[in-house]
Amino acid sequence: MEEDGDSLLIEDNYYQLLNVSKTATPEEINSAYRRCSRMFHPDKHSTDPNKQKWAEQIFNKVKEAYEVLSDSHKRAIYDTLGKRGLEVDGWEVIFRTRTPREIREEYERLKREREERRLQQSANPRGTITMSINATDMFTKYYDEYEILDEPSIIPSIEVSGMTIQQSIDAPVTLRNTVTLSGNISTQNGIGTGSVNISNRHLSSERGWTEFECGIGNGPVLGFKIFRTISRLMFVNCGTGLQFTPRGIVPSLVSTMALQLDAHSVGYLTYRVGGQGGSSMTSTYVRDSEKYHLNAAVQIGNPHSFISLNIMQKLPQHDLKLRLALKFGTFGAIAEYGAEKKVSQNSSVSAAVMLGVPSGVMLKLKWSCASQTIVVPIHLCEEVIPAPVFYATVVPVVSWLMLKKLILDPITREKQERDRQRSLEANFERLQEMQRQARATVELMRETYSRNRGDEEKKKGLVIIKALYGKLPSGASQHETGEEGIGDGAAESPSAYSEVIDVTIPLQCLVKDSRLELLEASKSELAGFYDPCVGEEKHLTVRYMFHNNLHLCTVSDKQALVLPSHSFRIKNRS
């Protein structure tokens, strides 16, 4: 299926139709095309008009796939954009003299232009709400010696000690100029502040940009920033500002130089002077890969110096990130551990426990949805003692499990079922046609199937006894491939709505020199297959003979499969 606005529509996969990989050589593509031609060429079925009609239709699809994959230019477009990319839309600028690499670069250029046009139509709002909660009374009660309490309160006092709201919007004026309006309101222990800033970023060239900023809050603020790429592996970012206060003008300067050390590592050197934060020199090392993220920093300055280490383990198969951070400095020490879970395409939740001296124990909850973020730091205790640490760790985990089981999982299942029904409705006629075509394809394969199976039986090679494809029975780990299984061939599936089809004939026809290889892609797109249960999880179960030994295996829909394999052999067979 496609992944854009027409994601519900099903289209052919040329690679799966020929059963070749995306890295297949021209020789492998030619060989696959010749194999399909021997089965589906209309001249081979001229004695039966009905079979000849289906053979012509299937052969045209095979020929279309071959013409695209054997042409390097068309193949590059198909790999980048899919079948729709082969249409004229936007590609009339591509000349036959261009190489496949130039075609892909042209696509990236067109994609950037579309993103720029989309950016002009969007304000790109970003916002963060931070609500600080003081819950220290839950674990360590504070008694004022001047306060007289008649009776101790059973319910602990929990108060909102501070709140900060930040919001910004972008206004792309031209392709090179973007105006950003931002503001924030903050209150802490009854004292409130606020500020409004406006800036204009000008893209001076592909190597850099400049930005002018002005604002008002605790006095007027003027700022100027510049970014410049020095080389392919190095860039410099420098910013200076002036803040006008009743006590005078406060200047500030921040300069950062970055150097890419290797494909996954970047080093930063940052110098700060002036402003409200004092002066400091910070050296940072960042390493980011598919499995983990590492951030180490050393800062020397006034009033604070510190050493910090931040490690994040990525578990993309579970949409989960685990984080551990340590920080030691002149202000004390902080240890932090937590997790972040992606709950949907654009939203995530996270929880972290911070143990600090002298800050105590804090639980930090965070929810992000698109460009909006809500942060709730909860101060539990001013000392590091076991009780708040235990509750800060256990309560978020238990709450998440209950929320997931009672609310999120039912919503996800309902959404999947709704998407499945929408897909069935959008592709009803297409699915019916695919079923009819798959059954016709099996009929055209019968002669090749008989010849291939006979040859394999003579040399005691790979013989497919039974192959079933579709949804597994409830609680089962494989399909039932005994005599009570579905009839021989997809054309004999018991009903149009069966969730399992017989694919013995198509699989045997893919056997070559006692070897069967299926790629890491949906098997519903193979010749003679179709999707018997759209939106459901599918598996393929194969029972086969090799060297007079019985074998049995079951693999998921998109799992690669290579037969024969000794690990699938059924032992102790009477």
Per residue in 467-484, pLDDT tens?
999 988 888 888 887 744
Q: Is residue 488 part of a domain?
A: yes
Q: Is 448 left (phi over 0), alpha (psi -120 to 50) or beta?
A: alpha
- Minimum mean pLDDT range among 59-73, 400-414, 486-500, 513-527: 486-500
Give the three-state DSSP class for 311.
Answer: strand
DSSP-based three-state secondary structure for 389: helix
- CATH number of the domain enclosing 455: 1.10.287.110
pLDDT at 322 over 90: yes
Of 536, 453, 439, 455, residue with least CA distance to 491: 439
Q: Is residue 323 part of a domain?
A: no
- Which DSSP string corresponds to 197-225? EEEEEEEEETTEEEEEEEEEESEEEEEEE
When divided into structural domains, the chain yields a total of 1
Helix axes 72-81, 100-120, angle to 10 degrees: 30
What pTM was estimated for this model as a whole?
Answer: 0.60
Kindly state whether residue 507 falls inside one of the protein's structural domains.
yes
Cα(90)–Cα(111) distance, integer angstroms: 10
Tens digits of residue pLDDT in 174-192: 878 889 999 999 988 778 8
Residue type, 421: Q
Q: Is residue 345 part of a domain?
A: no
- Percent of the chain topping pLDDT 70: 84
Three-state secondary structure call for residue 31: helix
- What is the extent of the structural domain holding 441? 14-70+428-568
User: What confidence tier does 95 reach under pLDDT thresholds 50, 70, 90?
Assistant: very low
Q: What's the pLDDT score for residue 142?
A: 54
Backbone region of residue 69 per phi and psi (left: phi > 0; alpha: psi in -120 to 50; beta: other values): alpha
* Residue 69 host element (H or E): helix 49-69
- What's the one-letter identity of residue 400? W
For the ranges 25-34, 121-130, 290-299, 529-538, which has the lowest average pLDDT?
121-130
Q: What is the pLDDT of residue 137?
A: 83
The SS3 assignment for 33 reads helix
d(CA 251, CA 242): 5
- Structural domain contains residue 550: yes
Burial class (CB in 10 A: 0-12, 13-18, 19+), 291: exposed
Residue 302 is assigned to a structural domain of this protein: no
Q: Does 305 have pLDDT greater than 50? A: yes
Query: What single letter denotes the amino acid at residue 428?
Result: F
Confidence of residue 508 (pLDDT cuts 50, 70, 90): very high
Nearest to 392 by CA among 130, 139, 162: 139
CA dist 505 → 438, 465, 541 (Å): 11, 9, 14
* Paired strand residues for 117: none
Condensed to tens digits (0 to 9), the pLDDT of residues 328-355 reads 999 899 999 999 998 877 889 999 999 9
Q: Tokens in use for 11?
A: 């289209």
Tokens 């980011």 identify what position? 288
Tell me whether residue 523 is in a domain. Answer: yes
pLDDT in tens, 2-53: 444 444 445 668 888 888 888 888 898 988 888 888 888 888 887 888 888 8
Percent of the chain residues topping a pLDDT of 90: 38
- Asked whether residue 110 is assigned to any structural domain, the reply reads no
Q: What is the pLDDT of residue 496?
A: 38
Taking all residues of the chain, what is their mean pLDDT, rounded to a whole number? 83
